[in-house]
Structure 1
Amino acid sequence: MLKINDLHAYYGKSHVLHGVSFDVQPGEIVALLGRNGSGRSTTAKAIMGMVDASGTVDWEGRHILGRKPYEIAHMGIGYVPESRDIFPRLTVHQNLLLGQKGSGKGSQWSFDDMYAMFPRLKEREHTEAGVMSGGEQQMLTLCRTLMGDPKLIIIDEPTEGLAPKIVELVGEYLQRLKERGVSVLLIEQKLTIALTISDRTLVMGHGSIVFEGTPDELRADKTVRKEWLEV
């Protein structure tokens, strides 16, 4: 589905990613873990065509490195940035409407689906998004991305700053995506949610993948956790 090989990325003269290689298979949740500054967010931006990069990024057999972000999104990759980027002066419903690809016909996701997953959004349907809580805005960003009917969704730090109950809700949401055939690349710092819901885990350090394995293998590898994850 998504296959990355020898990916390098740069901010100006700064060389941030150093030969990153991994893949995401259909219906799979892959957690990309690491400390701040390890290169996780840059990896997401490189996949989405938002930073200068070299190497290979293949999506469903097509080479997409060098394409524009909107072209990549239309090919079926959704991206939820850490900054959330909601439209603050628009209502919840209007934000979701902007997420639709074309007319929305043929999409497996509807407004009713979004409101069923997150009843709080239904309650706030006609509320300006800018006055909502951080947790509500995160729900909205996730749902707006889904309205574009992606086959893969890249989510950067979805639980950052959220209360424990909302973190649980986000975990349940991501598992529902998997049940409906959507793959997830989850960029996280919180080991608990990543190890609970992911099929495979990747650990980044200094712009490279330093570990790849199952959640159980990462739980058992104290050396990797101590050197690359624990503060």
Structure 2
Amino acid sequence: MLHIENLQAYYGKSHILHGVHFEVREGEILALLGRNGSGRSTTAKAIMGLVQCEGTIAWSAPRSGGEAVNLVGKKAYEIAHLGIGYVPENREIFPKLTVHQNLLLGEKHGRRNSRWSFEDSYRLFPRLRERQHTEAGVLSGGEQQMLALCRALMGDPDLVLIDEPTEGLAPMIVEQVAQFLLTLRERGMSVLLIEQKLTIALEIADRCLLMGHGSIVFDGTPEQLRADAAIRKEWLEV
């Protein structure tokens, strides 16, 4: 589905990613873990064409039936239209537009048999239904996160990259976000979940990657990561 090989990424002269290699499989939640500054967010931005990078990011959308496409060098809007959604850490909602208008902007017209709708968003997050005519800029942090997640899904992607969705949220909202991610997997979507919190990743992920200094230092199941205290201590725990 998504296969990354020898990915190098840069911010100007700063070399951030050093030969990153992993794959995201169809219908799985893959957690990308690591400390701040390890390169997790840069990996997502590289996939979306938002940073200078080299290497191979081979993408084959399950519903397209076509050959894999190398995303390196493509624009972000081209990548989005190929079936990849992105929820950045800072959410990037449109503050002067209403909740419903923000969701409307996420729609991809012409796509049939979409797996996500306005009603899905409002059913999973009832607070968004209550606030659908409210300007997004006055929402709470948790409500804005709900909106950012649902807006990405309105484009009916096959894969969604989600950067730190539980950062700063109350435990009750964190649980809602976790349920949201499990719902996506049930509907056949794949998720690359970038997280710093080990607990939620171990609860819902099918596989875990651990990143350190711009490289993947662990690739395994949640059970294997739980059992490897040494690698958690070296690359994850403070």
Alignment TM-score, normalising by the size of structure 1: 0.99
Tell me how far apart the structure 2 counterparts of residues 41 and 110 of structure 1 sit (CA, whole Å). Answer: 28
Deviations for 1:86-106, whole angstroms, at most 9, x for unmatched residues?
100110000000000125654
Which residue pairs with 1:158 in the alignment?
165
- Matched position secondary structure for 2:15: strand
Tell me how far apart the structure 2 counterparts of residues 165 and 91 of structure 1 sit (CA, whole Å). Answer: 24
Which residue pairs with 1:47 in the alignment?
47
Aligned length: 231
- Matched position secondary structure for 1:26: coil
- Matched position secondary structure for 1:138: helix
Tell me how far apart the structure 1 counterparts of residues 213 and 112 of structure 2 sit (CA, whole Å). Answer: 43
Identify if the C-alpha distance between structure 1 residues 11 and 74 changes in structure 2 by more than 3 Å, giving closer, same or farther: same
Residue pairs, 1:67-78, within 5 angstroms = 67-78=74-85
Which residue pairs with 1:28 in the alignment?
28
Identify if the C-alpha distance between structure 1 residues 104 and 111 changes in structure 2 by more than 3 Å, giving closer, same or farther: farther
Amino acid at match of 2:51: V
Which residue pairs with 2:18 in the alignment?
18
Which residue pairs with 1:214 in the alignment?
221
- Matched position secondary structure for 2:23: strand
Pairwise CA RMSD:
0.8
Tell me how far apart the structure 1 counterparts of residues 110 and 137 of structure 2 sit (CA, whole Å). Answer: 25
- Matched position secondary structure for 1:19: strand
The worse-fitting range, judged by mean Cα deviation, of 102-111 and 131-140 is: 102-111
Deviations for 1:211-231, whole angstroms, at most 9, x for unmatched residues?
010000000000111011011
Tell me how far apart the structure 2 counterparts of residues 55 and 20 of structure 1 sit (CA, whole Å). Answer: 9
Tell me how far apart the structure 2 counterparts of residues 213 and 103 of structure 1 sit (CA, whole Å). Answer: 38
Which residue pairs with 2:101 in the alignment?
94
- Are 1:57 and 2:64 counterparts? no
Which residue pairs with 2:63 in the alignment?
none
Residue pairs, 1:122-133, within 5 angstroms = 122-133=129-140
Amino acid at match of 2:95: P
Which residue pairs with 2:182 in the alignment?
175
Which residue pairs with 1:223 in the alignment?
230
Deviations for 1:68-115, whole angstroms, at most 9, x for unmatched residues?
000000000000000000100110000000000125654221111110
CA contact (8 A) 1:9 1:46 kept: yes
Give the unaligned 5+ runs of structure 2.
61-67
Amino acid at match of 1:123: E
Tell me how far apart the structure 2 counterparts of residues 199 and 161 of structure 1 sit (CA, whole Å). Answer: 24
Tell me how far apart the structure 2 counterparts of residues 136 and 195 of structure 1 sit (CA, whole Å). Answer: 24
Tell me how far apart the structure 2 counterparts of residues 200 and 168 of structure 1 sit (CA, whole Å). Answer: 19
